[in-house]
Chain A
Amino acid sequence: MSFARFIIKRSLQGIFVVWGVVTVVFLLRFSTPGDPITFIAPLDASPELRQRIAEELGLNQPLYVQYFDYLTGLLTGDMGYSYISGTEAATRIFARVPATVELAVAATVVAIVISIPLGVISATRRHEPADYAATTFSLAGISTPNFWLGIMLVLVFAVQLNFLPTSRRPVGIVQAVEVLVLSGNYAGIVLWLQHITLPAITLGTYFTALVTRLTRSGMLDELGKSYVDAARAKGLPETLVRYKHALRNTLIPVITVLGLQLGTLIGGAVITEAVFAWPGLGTLVINSINTRDWPLIQGCLIVIGSSFVFVNIAVDALYAYVNPQVVYD
Chain B
Amino acid sequence: MDEILRVRDLKTRFFTEEGQVNAVESVSFDVRDGEIFGIVGESGSGKSVTALSVIDLIESPGRVTGGEVWYRNADLADEFREKRSEAVDGDFVDLRRLPKGVRRSLRGPSFSMVFQDPMSSLNPSITVGEQIAEAVEVQRRARANPRSTRSRTQGYGLGKYLVDSIVPGREYTSTESKERAIELLEQVGIPDPEARAEEYPHQFSGGMLQRAMIAQALAGEPDILVADEPTTALDVTIQAQILNLLRDLQREQDMSIIMITHDLGVIARMCDRVGVMYAGQIVERGTLGDIFENPVHPYTEGLLGSIPDLEDPSPRLSPIEGNVPSLLDSEMGGRCYFADRCPNAMEACLNSIPEYDTDSGEVVGDGANAEAVHTARCVLATREFDAAEALGDDYFGDRAEASDPETPDDAAEQEVVSDA
User: Do A and B touch, yes or no (CB under 8 Å, in the complex)?
Assistant: yes
* Contact surface of A with B, Cβ cutoff 8 Å: 126-127, 223, 225-227, 229-240, 243-245, 248-249, 252, 322-325
> Which residues in B have their C-beta under 8 angstroms from that of A244?
126, 161, 172
Contact B60 A127 (CB under 8 A): yes
Contact A248 B158 (CB under 8 A): no
Contact A236 B120 (CB under 8 A): no
Contact B158 A235 (CB under 8 A): no
Whether B138 is near chain A, meaning CB under 8 Å from some CB there, is yes
By beta carbon, the residue of chain B nearest A322 is: B125
Asked if A231 meets B61 with Cβ closer than 8 Å, knowing A226-B116, A237-B155, A244-B172, the reply is no
> Which residues in B have their C-beta under 8 angstroms from that of A323?
125
What CA separation (Å) do A255 and B177 show in the bound complex? 31
Distance between A84 CB and nearest chain B CB, rounded to angstroms: 48
* Contact surface of B with A, Cβ cutoff 8 Å: 52, 55, 57, 59-61, 104-109, 111-113, 115-117, 120-127, 131, 134-135, 138-139, 142, 154-158, 161, 172, 200, 202, 213, 216-217, 219-220, 226
What CA separation (Å) do A35 and B219 show in the bound complex? 77
Asked if A231 meets B123 with Cβ closer than 8 Å, knowing A236-B134, A237-B155, the reply is yes
Contact B124 A232 (CB under 8 A): no
Most chain-B Cβ atoms within 10 A of its Cβ — which of A225, A229, A325? A229
> Which residues in A have their C-beta under 8 angstroms from that of B161?
239-240, 243-244
What CA separation (Å) do A240 and B126 show in the bound complex? 13
Asked if A240 meets B156 with Cβ closer than 8 Å, knowing A233-B217, A234-B219, the reply is yes
Contact B120 A227 (CB under 8 A): yes
Distance between A13 CB and nearest chain B CB, rounded to angstroms: 26
Contact A229 B115 (CB under 8 A): yes
Contact A235 B108 (CB under 8 A): yes
By beta carbon, the residue of chain B nearest A240 is: B156
Contact B116 A235 (CB under 8 A): no
- The 4 closest A-B CB pairs, nearest first, are A235-B108, A234-B135, A233-B113, A237-B156
Contact B57 A233 (CB under 8 A): yes
What CA separation (Å) do A252 and B125 show in the bound complex? 9
> Which residues in B have their C-beta under 8 angstroms from that of A126?
60-61
What CA separation (Å) do A232 and B115 show in the bound complex? 12
Q: Could you pull out 30 A-B pairs where Cβ atoms are within 8 angstroms?
A: A225-B120, A227-B122, A227-B123, A229-B52, A229-B121, A230-B113, A230-B122, A231-B134, A232-B107, A233-B107, A233-B108, A233-B112, A233-B113, A233-B226, A234-B107, A234-B216, A234-B219, A235-B142, A237-B154, A238-B104, A238-B155, A239-B156, A240-B172, A243-B158, A244-B161, A244-B172, A245-B123, A249-B124, A252-B125, A322-B125
> Which residues in B have their C-beta under 8 angstroms from that of A223?
59
Contact A248 B219 (CB under 8 A): no
Q: Which of A226, A233, A234, A248 contacts B117 (CB 8 A)?
A: A226
What CA separation (Å) do A239 and B123 show in the bound complex? 15
> Which residues in B have their C-beta under 8 angstroms from that of A245?
123, 126
By beta carbon, the residue of chain A nearest B17 is: A127
Contact B138 A248 (CB under 8 A): no
Asked if A235 meets B107 with Cβ closer than 8 Å, knowing A230-B216, A244-B161, the reply is yes
What CA separation (Å) do A316 and B156 show in the bound complex? 31
What CA separation (Å) do A126 and B142 show in the bound complex? 30
Contact A239 B61 (CB under 8 A): no
Q: Which of B59, B105, B158, B217 contacts A234 (CB 8 A)?
A: B217
> Which residues in B have their C-beta under 8 angstroms from that of A225?
120
What CA separation (Å) do A66 and B398 show in the bound complex? 84
By beta carbon, the residue of chain B nearest A246 is: B123
Contact A325 B200 (CB under 8 A): yes
Distance between B246 CB and nearest chain A CB, rounded to angstroms: 16
Distance between B83 CB and nearest chain A CB, rounded to angstroms: 22
Q: Which of A127, A229, A237, A239 contacts B57 (CB 8 A)?
A: A229
What CA separation (Å) do A34 and B59 show in the bound complex? 65
> Which residues in A have their C-beta under 8 angstroms from that of B217?
233-234
Contact B113 A127 (CB under 8 A): no
> Which residues in A have their C-beta under 8 angstroms from that of B59?
223
Contact A233 B111 (CB under 8 A): yes
By beta carbon, the residue of chain B nearest A323 is: B125
Distance between B410 CB and nearest chain A CB, rounded to angstroms: 23
> Which residues in A have their C-beta under 8 angstroms from that of B216?
230, 234
Distance between B116 CB and nearest chain A CB, rounded to angstroms: 7
By beta carbon, the residue of chain B nearest A233 is: B113
What CA separation (Å) do A233 and B108 show in the bound complex? 7
By beta carbon, the residue of chain B nearest A239 is: B158
> Which residues in A have their C-beta under 8 angstroms from that of B220?
234-235
Asked if A324 meets B124 with Cβ closer than 8 Å, knowing A232-B107, A234-B107, A237-B156, the reply is yes
